[in-house]
């Protein structure tokens, strides 16, 4: 019984430290990554705007379920491990140059926007830049994103999978990271 109480105490202490450290981290950040791919922007656009086709090339994504449009633009659920569903929506689409997507829903532990910018490179290449703007409300989640996932982590997984989908071994480049202090206004 004493060992059990010690274990419970240590786990509680670790959780409290994690939350306290998370409370000291800023709620908002902006990060950007890019990748150079050997295919035209139109082909990249086809892939990144085919939300229902995401499970064919994105690791860890089990399914995509179409959801009702929001303000006339597509919306969908991504079904991940443990059948967890996360809803996303398109905010802006300017084919084949700019796509803006966001988490959709109320009472989420974070609010996030991805801005995809596609530019031609040479005759048959593309540069895809993703800029992520996130606000992470729960301190424990801020801790995990900062210390375990990295601010560029999810973008890197997406960009590496996209490169594989087009037969490329390209690697993403981290362009910027801006962590806003608690008193700064998010953009």
The DSSP annotation for 25-89 comes to: S-SEEEEEEEEEESS-HHHHHHHHT-GGGGGGTSTT--EEEEEEEETTEEEEEEE-GGG-EEEEE
Give the separation between CA 16 and CA 71, rounded to whole angstroms.
Answer: 41
What's the confidence (pLDDT) of residue 58? 96
**Are 156 and 29 in contact, with CB atoms under 8 Å apart?**
no
Q: What is the CA radius of gyration of the chain?
A: 19
pLDDT band at 183 (very low <50, low <70, confident <90, very high): very low
Is the model's pLDDT at 112 over the cut of 70?
yes
Give the separation between CA 121 and CA 41, rounded to whole angstroms.
Answer: 9
Is the model's pLDDT at 187 over the cut of 60?
no
Burial class (CB in 10 A: 0-12, 13-18, 19+), 160: middle
Give the separation between CA 26 and CA 143, rounded to whole angstroms.
Answer: 10
Please give the mean pLDDT across all residues of the chain: 90
Domains recognised in the chain with CATH numbers: 2-180 (3.30.530.20)
Per-residue pLDDT tens over the stretch 73-95: 999 999 998 888 999 999 999 99
Per-residue pLDDT tens over the stretch 138-174: 888 888 877 888 888 899 999 999 999 999 999 999 9
Instruction: Return the exposure string of 53-70: e unless at least 16 CB atoms fall within 10 Å of the residue's CB, then b.
Output: ebeebbeebeebeebeee
Is the model's pLDDT at 181 over the cut of 70?
no
């Amino acid at each position: 019984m004493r060992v059990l109480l010690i274990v419970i105490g240590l786990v509680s202490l670790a959780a409290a430290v994690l939350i306290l450290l998370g409370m000291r981290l800023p709620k908002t950040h902006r990060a950007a990554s890019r990748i150079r791919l050997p295919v035209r922007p139109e082909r990249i656009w086809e892939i990144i705007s085919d939300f229902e086709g995401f499970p064919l090339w994105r690791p860890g994504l089990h399914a995509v379920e179409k959801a009702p449009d929001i303000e006339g633009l597509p919306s969908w659920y991504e079904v991940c491990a443990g059948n967890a569903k996360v809803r996303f929506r398109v905010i802006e689409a300017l084919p084949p140059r700019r796509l803006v997507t966001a988490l959709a829903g109320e009472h989420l532990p974070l609010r996030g926007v991805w801005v995809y910018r596609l530019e031609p490179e040479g005759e048959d290449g593309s540069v895809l830049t993703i800029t992520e703007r996130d606000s992470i409300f729960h301190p424990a989640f801020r801790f995990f994103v900062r210390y375990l996932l990295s601010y560029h982590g999810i973008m890197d997984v997406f960009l590496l999978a996209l490169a594989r989908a087009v037969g490329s071994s390209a690697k993403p480049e981290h362009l910027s990271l801006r962590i806003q202090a608690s008193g700064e206004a998010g953009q």
